[in-house]
Structure 1
Amino acid sequence: MTEIIVIVAVAKNNAIGKDNDIPWHIKEDFEHFKEKTSGFPCIMGDKTYESLPDNAKPLPGRENIVLTFDKNYKPKGTTVFNDFYEAIEYVKKKGVEKAFIIGGATIYKLGMKVADIFELTRIYHDYDADTFYPEINFDEWELINQEDHEGMDIKNKFNVKFSFLTYKRKK
């Protein structure tokens, strides 16, 4: 059975984006994302796909599944769906071990309803943002792993504390 996993980095104030970009650049978090998602399908909205750097479009070593309402949108090297639940059914029918939901905010909101695992990088700093993570009902989730770290936010030039938190949906 395919495990559906939401993976996201969220600031203390629930910020996830600013001007269609990530407000921080923490090398360890990018490495964590790559390590977790490599080899598995990644489901994302069209804005998230377009926000990827050109040299990472499509994300290498992963099937890039892009959701859009635009029937003519078909970026090279991607699988496109116009319906979130059809994309979920697609990965389940493929029989892959895992599939990751990687954003943006609207896709995360839908993803939290169907996810089995929630991979949260919690960054203990408030960031200026225009996109925020939807409210998380932690009553639905059990923390099964926590790794605390400190690293350099290269974009903003300061050290920041963060944790890799893995939650499993309560039965």
Structure 2
Amino acid sequence: MSTADAPRIGMIWAEAAGGAIGRDGDMPWHLPEDLAHFKRTTLGAPVIMGRRTWESLPDRVRPLPGRSNIVVTRDPAYATPGASRVASLEAALALLRPGTDLAVPATAPGAVTAWVMGGGELYRSALALAEELVVTRIALEVSDADTFAPEIGSEWHLAESQPEQVSASGLRFHIERWHRNPA
């Protein structure tokens, strides 16, 4: 796939202190405002996720409505009703090239055309390909976390940081948007 044909990849996640994003296959917090933000951000665009992220979605929203769902798993027999199953991130991206059923044209110049939404292994694989990161930072310690966000390195710059908010659940959080530095 040529660079011109490649989808513009964004990554979206919520993390607690120390980069914690998961515990025992689930998010170790309840933050309805972030779930609403996630929906607003990804609606209409394909979402790419690993098998454990797929399994963590409640049955009532699996597959996530209003988005093409792509599940990356090494198990060729794994069932993903309502979603496309692929063996690798590269195969997921191939499904999104122009002329395919899942391709979604950007609605604005530079707009993200697909979102990687977890988990930890897929985030680490996709980081080198992503052009935008949307990160919700939660003021919470999760001492028994077992899944972590990738480290945001010097190839990124903070494009936007929203003011801190307090969730209805009492958690403090803020949302950041990062862009890849020009080459």
TM-score normalised by length of structure 2 = 0.85
Name the counterpart of 2:129. Answer: 114
Given the superposition, is the C-alpha separation of residues 95 and 62 from structure 1 closer, same or farther in structure 2, using an over 3 Å criterion? closer
Structure 1 runs not aligned, ≥5 long: none
CA distance in 2, matches of 1:23, 1:153: 16
CA distance in 1, matches of 2:65, 2:104: 20
Deviations 1:51-104 (A, max 9, x none): 100101100111000000001113111011101112123213325321000000
Name which of 11, 17, 20 aligns with 1:12.
17
**Runs of 4+ in structure 1 displaced over 3 angstroms?**
none
Deviation at 1:126, TM superposition (A): 1.4
Contact 2:46 2:68 in 1 (8 A): yes
Name the counterpart of 1:170. Answer: 181
Q: Where is the strand percentage greater, Structure 1 or Structure 2? A: 1
Question: Which secondary structure state, in structure 1, belongs to the residue aligned with residue 74 of structure 2?
Answer: coil
Contact 2:15 2:138 in 1 (8 A): yes
Deviation at 1:131, TM superposition (A): 1.2
Do residues 99 (structure 1) and 110 (structure 2) align?
A: no
Aligned partner letter, 2:84: T
CA distance in 2, matches of 1:145, 1:88: 27
Contact 1:65 1:81 in 2 (8 A): yes
Name the counterpart of 1:47. Answer: 52
Name the counterpart of 1:126. Answer: 141
Contact 1:28 1:151 in 2 (8 A): no
Name the counterpart of 1:23. Answer: 28
Deviation at 1:114, TM superposition (A): 0.4
Deviation at 1:115, TM superposition (A): 0.3
Question: Which secondary structure state, in structure 2, belongs to the residue aligned with residue 13 of structure 1?
Answer: helix
Aligned partner letter, 1:113: A
What's the RMSD between the two structures over aligned residues? 1.5
Deviation at 1:31, TM superposition (A): 0.6
Q: Percent identity?
A: 37
